[in-house]
Amino acid sequence: MPVSTRSQIINEGQDDPSTITTTTQHRRHRFDHQENPKIGPSPMRNPHHGLKEKMKALTLLYEQQKQASMVLKNTNSRTEERKVSTTTTHHPSVELLNSAKSKENELRAGNVMRENSMPNRTITRTIVLPQNVSSLQDDAKENVIGLDRIVGFSCPNKATSTGNTTTVARKLSMGGLAPQSEPRGIGGGIKTGKEMETIEEKSSVGSRILVFVRLRPMAKKEKEAGSRCCVRIVNRRDVFLTEFASENDYLRLKRLRGRHFTFDASFPDSTSQQEVYSTTTADLVEGVLQGKNGSVFCYGATGAGKTYTMLGTMENPGVMVLAMKDLFAKIRHRSCDGNHVVHLSYLEVYNETVRDLLSPGRPLVLREDKQGIVASGLTQYRAYSTDEVMALLQRGNQNRTTEPTRVNETSSRSHAILQVVAEYRVRDDTMNVVNRVGKLSLIDLAGSERALATDQRTLRSIEGANINRSLLALSSCINALVEGKKHIPYRNSKLTQLLKDSLGGACNTVMIANISPSNLSFGETQNTLHWADRAKEIRTKACEANEEILQVPTTDTNQAKLLLELQKENRDLRVQLARQQQKLLSVQAQSLAANSTPTPSSATSIMTPPSAKANVKRRTRSSILTGNCFNTPESKRRGAGETDRGLQQTVKALEAEIDRMKKEHALQLKQKDNFILDLTRKLSKSSVVGGGGGIKRVVTRASLRPKEPAAEGELKSPKHRFHSPAPTAKKRSFWDITTANSPSLTSLSGRKTRSHVAEPARAPSMLLQLYVSFFLRLLMQLAYPCFWFVFMFGPHVVNYIFQPGFARERPA
């Protein structure tokens, strides 16, 4: 943004056409404080006799004019009030105006405010300060300005002209108060029919840039220099800027000029970093995970707190750090339903060259492709955790160009852009892969500055000139975008080229304007607020999720479907097995009960399988044939015994059947498991998700078994799978483990894996193995003393035997 000196700003404020409303009744009033007894005589710090006399003369003239106009004014006052109220409904001063019922009341209240006198241009408004203003003032104690010293706000009014839309747009941006209920994406101020149309047209295009203001605390240096607070934030939304008159400006010594701005939110100096993050950026992070682009940029004068807001300190991390933490926390939360990949790049624009901050080297060249403007050769780091990002940020900041200036000891001399690309892949219901890519750009701009404010040294002034050049280019782009021009001069600087997506692309954009509270920085603060206010009017393109659906080949889809089907069938089988086991348990319980009571139980027939039932029937029939129908005690006992036997047989039959079913189920489950593993392996080979990192290859002993040749069309029906005979498994024996050339050692992709696949040769029996090992150990134990004995005494024995006297000494 252009850098302007204070004097320029004052002139600009006075000559600014936007401060002129269309009201034709422009009048000029003079007010003498000395005349009003409630306000009292003003203490002149630098009395000047000539001026005093001049003022007295003016006072006399004023009194004469006042008396003359009194009659006229009384008749016109009602009409005038109505006119003024229609022109400035949304301005805070209008509320004040509405409460001014009559001039008598005003004088009685003695709390009179007047608009700055600007010859033949400004509207004269007599304003009574209502009680609520002073209460609002209490809200913002940190920025309290003595209201008795405020003569008026030269806050430009919203234009009501229905003329040129462009002019209207410009006027709208000038410090108007947006209604509280204003929806996101619509600028503030009073709208005429034509403006509303324009807004409706625009709202179909996209949303507007959200603009926030952050006030930093007064610095120690500023306090020492005796600076005063010139910014007041009210309702966390409205910013009142007051210009204190210079001590040498005798004419305006008692006069204060002020401006009023309204933003989406305004943060007083006590606001925490977390609060700033959650209000400005948290939503963008959520959007990025849904595939939407977002950018946040800090704008302001040098030393206004941009880097503090973006990076922060170790104790109070800023937006960049908090955003990355939040992003990874959100990804961790959703990791169960898809794959997330985060890439990071960090670059700076210094003296109109683009440099990679993560791997510094040669300047990068900007080029435009379908993704937008990209710096070719920029390093993209894949980040897995917040800690990693912190390390990268630290590395990048060490490479960033910062130099101490007179205004800021750690002044950033470059614009830094941290780009985070979050890619998310997930399978939808139709087994297709959905790919979403969202990009978040976090931008810490260099401070706009006046050459004198920083340094006179050559390098610093060149840097300053380049910073100002790029910020000027940024302001021209903002102007062009607000005015709806076709050509937006993005190419004027590297910064605007890089910000093209954020300003005019499909992107949710947030601007944080940083300001200083010191009246010594009034000019810079006013400049920042002016451009922030202007940026409110920019509308970006409709931001939709960058979503892409990757078609998976039909064979893969079929296999995936089959896999799901099999898994379902497997689950069903497990449930069936559990039920059968329950049945078995209940039958066992019944048989136990039957054993304890010899009388036949009618309940036995409930759970019996058909074969067992037939068995019982046959026996019953035979018992009838054998004359069981005569209920003698003998026959009863016999019958009871027979029933008991029958029941036992039934239980046995049941047990056998359940055993068989168990085996069958186990076999089926095993086969299905194997099949699922095969399928998973195949899928993981062909899977697009995760590029090999998605589904892991599972190697089990079962998977090493030689495959049966698959019958044709086997995959079509899962039922066909279960007829293949299961290979007989064999427990490994002691022999297998001890023998080195055991056939159970199989090599799989270079790794030795043990398997319990059946071996062709039978190992010797356990007993034989034990005997052999026992024998061998015994042999070893005996052999060792023998050897030792031979070794120790052998030579002596030999010597002794072959001594010459040996034979002689030997008894005959």
Ligand X SMILES: Nc1ncnc2c1ncn2[C@@H]1O[C@H](COP(=O)(O)OP(=O)(O)OP(=O)(O)O)[C@@H](O)[C@H]1O
Q: Interacting stretch for ligand X, rule CB under 6 A, among 407-415, 537-545, 694-702, 749-757?
A: 407-415
For the CB of residue 273, give the shortest distance to ligand X in the complex, in Å.
8
Residue 51 makes CB contacts below 8 A (sequence gap 6+) with 250, 251
Q: What are phi and psi of 164, to 5 degrees?
A: -60, 125
According to the annotation, is 306 in a ligand binding site? yes
Return the residues of window 219-248 that contact ligand X according to CB under 6 A.
Answer: 219
Q: Interacting stretch for ligand X, rule CB under 6 A, among 212-220, 373-381, 713-721, 790-798?
A: 212-220
How many residues line the site for ligand X (CB under 6 A)? 18
Q: Which of 300, 464, 504, 523 binds ligand X (CB under 6 A)?
A: 300
Q: Are 447 and 301 in contact (CB under 8 A)?
A: yes
Decide if residue 411 touches ligand X (CB under 6 A): yes
d(CA 538, CA 483): 9
According to the annotation, is 465 in a ligand binding site? no
Helix, coil or strand: residue 772: helix
According to the annotation, is 301 in a ligand binding site? yes
For the CB of residue 216, give the shortest distance to ligand X in the complex, in Å.
3
d(CA 10, CA 715): 83
For the CB of residue 225, give the shortest distance to ligand X in the complex, in Å.
15
The per-residue DSSP string of 5-73 comes to -HHHHHHHHHH-GGG--S-S--------GGG-TTT-----SS--HHHHHHHHHHHHHHHHHHHHHHHHH
Residues 592-631 as x/- pattern, contact with ligand X by CB under 6 A: ----------------------------------------
Q: What are phi and psi of 343, to 5 degrees?
A: -115, 150
Reduce the secondary structure of 404-442 to three states and give it as a string: CCCCCCCEECCEEEEEEEEEEEEECCCCCEEEEEEEEEE
For the CB of residue 306, give the shortest distance to ligand X in the complex, in Å.
4
Q: Which of 130, 185, 217, 505 binds ligand X (CB under 6 A)?
A: 217
For the CB of residue 407, give the shortest distance to ligand X in the complex, in Å.
7
Q: Which of 410, 576, 595, 746 binds ligand X (CB under 6 A)?
A: 410
Decide if residue 397 touches ligand X (CB under 6 A): no
Q: Which is nearer to ligand X, 414 or 650 (CB)?
A: 414
Q: Which of 100, 155, 230, 304 binds ligand X (CB under 6 A)?
A: 304
Decide if residue 307 touches ligand X (CB under 6 A): yes
d(CA 590, CA 597): 11
Token reading at 456:
């006179």
Closest CA relative to residue 535, chosen from 211, 239, 284 = 211
Decide if residue 414 touches ligand X (CB under 6 A): no
For the CB of residue 195, give the shortest distance to ligand X in the complex, in Å.
35
- Strand pairing class (339-350; 381-383): antiparallel
Residues 488-527 as x/- pattern, contact with ligand X by CB under 6 A: --------------------------x-------------
Q: Which is nearer to ligand X, 514 or 671 (CB)?
A: 514
d(CA 158, CA 294): 31
Decide if residue 471 touches ligand X (CB under 6 A): no
Q: Which is nearer to ligand X, 206 or 305 (CB)?
A: 305
Q: Are 179 and 113 in contact (CB under 8 A)?
A: no
Decide if residue 302 touches ligand X (CB under 6 A): yes
According to the annotation, is 639 in a ligand binding site? no
The helix (run of H) or strand (run of E) holding residue 670 is: helix 633-686
The helix (run of H) or strand (run of E) holding residue 697 is: none
According to the annotation, is 189 in a ligand binding site? no
Helix, coil or strand: residue 367: strand
Q: Interacting stretch for ligand X, rule CB under 6 A, among 181-189, 197-205, 286-294, 298-306?
A: 298-306
Q: Are 498 and 355 in contact (CB under 8 A)?
A: no
Decide if residue 468 touches ligand X (CB under 6 A): no
Return the residues of window 426-455 that contact ligand X according to CB under 6 A.
Answer: 446-447
d(CA 285, CA 221): 37
Numbered residues of the known binding site for ATP: 300-307
Q: List contacts with ligand X (CB under 6 A).
A: 216-217, 219, 300, 302-308, 408, 410-412, 446-447, 514
Numbered residues of the known binding site: 300-307
